[in-house]
Structure 1
């Protein structure tokens, strides 16, 4: 693992997106920079490998970008947790509370075999609500969720406190 690449140099803050007062952490420059992206994937692979996952799960939609290449590197399967109505076939749903209202995520009913070891990935950990919901959903269908991993963590939002699995983030922002 190389320390020559600072991943934060490839993550940009965009003010007032998607609404005023929000600072959006954009991973697009990281994805576009081959060496930085390779470094991020390698760092995540090293962090996840000890959990011996059978499946990596990506949360819609940027989580797909992270989990899919990692699954290739680690030799695991990859499945998706998506918003309601986006997956074909039989699905299992889980609804959860947001700051204002509720949301529903789904997984295909046959995607997880009972007892499979799972690591769940997303690009960013903020308040932790979506990741906590995904972990509950995956347990509901018989998965053994071992860990969660992120490219970016907004530590000032304390999302990690909502998670009951080991969690790793490659970068962290305190404000």
Structure 2
């Protein structure tokens, strides 16, 4: 049921942010508070999230889901930010996007108290962003219970590159 509502709300744009990319814009979801609430409720049911000690949410659209879900589940929220956005000792890693390259950072001390993490992001495309967070966590002997995303782009086969469970609210 929620899948069809999400499909209706999401807008797709060809050749954005560069030629050859079909961009799925989730922004209209936030203009529909009932749908946004229903999406948060649905994602929060995931065993991946419920079995984790903490949630890592990915900059920037992942924050819109991770913050709501962490409050709903009373789970700590750690932010995976783009380069240059976090003070203090950080862990950083670079990854490839469907349309370029980027890097993510996590504050080292934010990981200290937790062992098992769930990753939240808006879209699973190539898997590069989520794999980047995985490498940051595993380099510090942390476990990944899985990842939760709003949309999974099946044609890009990212799930095949990931060695942990994925929960997708909508597959395209």
What is the TM-score when the length of structure 2 is the normalising length? 0.90
Partner secondary structure for residue 111 of structure 1: helix
Structure 2's unaligned 5+ residue stretches are none
The 1:52–1:124 alpha-carbon spacing in structure 2 relative to 1, beyond 3 Å, is same
Are the equivalent residues in 2 in contact too, given 1:59–1:82 (CA < 8 A)? yes
How far 1:51 sits from its partner (Å)?
Answer: 4.3
**Whole-Å Cα distance in 1 between the matches of residues 158 and 39 of structure 2?**
21
Are the equivalent residues in 1 in contact too, given 2:48–2:148 (CA < 8 A)? no
**Whole-Å Cα distance in 2 between the matches of residues 41 and 154 of structure 1?**
20
Superposition map of 1:1-175 within 5 A: 6-48=5-47, 51-97=50-96, 103-113=102-112, 115-173=114-172
Q: 1:39-73 deviations in whole A, cap 9, x for unaligned?
A: 11011001146642221111111111111100001
Structure 1's unaligned 5+ residue stretches are none
The 1:34–1:142 alpha-carbon spacing in structure 2 relative to 1, beyond 3 Å, is same
Q: Please, which moves more after superposition, 99-108 or 26-35? A: 99-108
Are the equivalent residues in 2 in contact too, given 1:11–1:27 (CA < 8 A)? yes
What is the TM-score when the length of structure 1 is the normalising length? 0.88
Are the equivalent residues in 1 in contact too, given 2:44–2:50 (CA < 8 A)? no
* RMSD between superposed Cα atoms in Å: 2.2
Higher relative contact order (CA 8 A, sep 6+): 2
The 1:69–1:99 alpha-carbon spacing in structure 2 relative to 1, beyond 3 Å, is closer
Q: 1:127-169 deviations in whole A, cap 9, x for unaligned?
A: 1111111111122234221010100011000011111110011
